[in-house]
A and B are shown apart, each in its own frame.
Chain A
Amino acid sequence: MRYTLKTFGITRDILGGKEVPFEMDGVKVAELKSELMIRFPEMKTLNSLLIAVNNAYAEDDLILTESDEIALIPPVSGG
């Protein structure tokens, strides 16, 4: 499957782009997270990593589709 990942904050520095194409065999949010940790080991140094799908926080067992808007959400720090 070929996904497009939106990146924010420190995840943009780590992946090196605002919208990054990402191919993997997995289809679940949990698989995306572990694949990110493998391909970008620096991800493991973060306090947390959440995935948002279509503008809402996604559970680990959610199934992704190629047309989803997928975003990497590192620890937020607004306010």
Chain B
Amino acid sequence: MIKITEKAIDVQKVIETASNLGAGAVNAFIGTVRNKAKDKNVVWLEYEAYEAMAVAEIRKIIDEAAHKWNLLGWAVSHRIGTLKPGEVAVVVAVSTAHRKESFEACQYIIDNVKAKTPIWKKEVFDDGEEWVDARPTAGQAAIK
């Protein structure tokens, strides 16, 4: 299951979707909204996705993971829209025969979802707003 949704993520449902009777391990990563960024108070975050492509990219990442590890079940759900601190933004769950591969596969999937999937977030502070990672921080180079 790959889901991009404006509704609150049902974490238990994502875990159940990834579960499998042959699995000895179910590993879930739950990404939540922090209340601080760069020492400023985050009031809320705005998430948006290029939905069709996001689903296609996540599918590629799952396929890659399935080549590296024997995934018995998996599910990825990513929230979009307005999220407040403490809310769940993303859930990745995988099930495998043993725990080691469940940790590795889950980390591989969330790391790649964060790096490659066309989803963006804007932090809204008390005194302004900013698209996360869009521009270099001091000392980094922008596009040449």
Asked if B133 lies at the interface with its beta carbon under 8 angstroms from chain A, I say yes
In the complex, chain B residues 7-48 whose Cβ is within 8 Å of any chain A Cβ = 31, 47-48
CB-based contact B117/A78 at 8 Å: yes
Given the interface pairs A73-B50, A77-B133, the reply to whether A56 lies near B118 with Cβ below 8 Å is no
Least CB separation from A33: chain B residue:
B143
Q: Mark A59-78, 1 if CB is under 8 A from B, else 0.
A: 00000000000010111111
CB-based contact A77/B89 at 8 Å: no
Asked if B110 lies at the interface with its beta carbon under 8 angstroms from chain A, I say yes
Given the interface pairs A55-B53, A76-B118, A79-B113, the reply to whether A9 lies near B48 with Cβ below 8 Å is yes
- Provide the bound-state CA to CA distance between A37 and B120, in Å: 21
Asked if B56 lies at the interface with its beta carbon under 8 angstroms from chain A, I say yes
The bracket for how many chain A residues form the interface is 20 to 34
Q: Mark A3-15, 1 if CB is under 8 A from B, else 0.
A: 0001011100100
Question: Whole-angstrom distance from the CB of B55 to the nearest CB of chain A?
Answer: 9
* Residue from A13, A43, A48, A76 in contact with B119 in the complex, judged by beta carbons closer than 8 Å: A76
Question: Whole-angstrom distance from the CB of A76 to the nearest CB of chain B?
Answer: 6
Question: Whole-angstrom distance from the CB of B47 to the nearest CB of chain A?
Answer: 7
* Residue from B50, B110, B122, B136 in contact with A47 in the complex, judged by beta carbons closer than 8 Å: B136
Q: Mark B114-129, 1 if CB is under 8 A from A, else 0.
A: 1111111110000000
* Residue from A49, A56, A77 in contact with B120 in the complex, judged by beta carbons closer than 8 Å: A77
Query: Which residues of chain B are within 8 angstroms of A24 by Cβ–Cβ distance?
Result: none
Query: Which residues of chain B are within 8 angstroms of A37 by Cβ–Cβ distance?
Result: 143
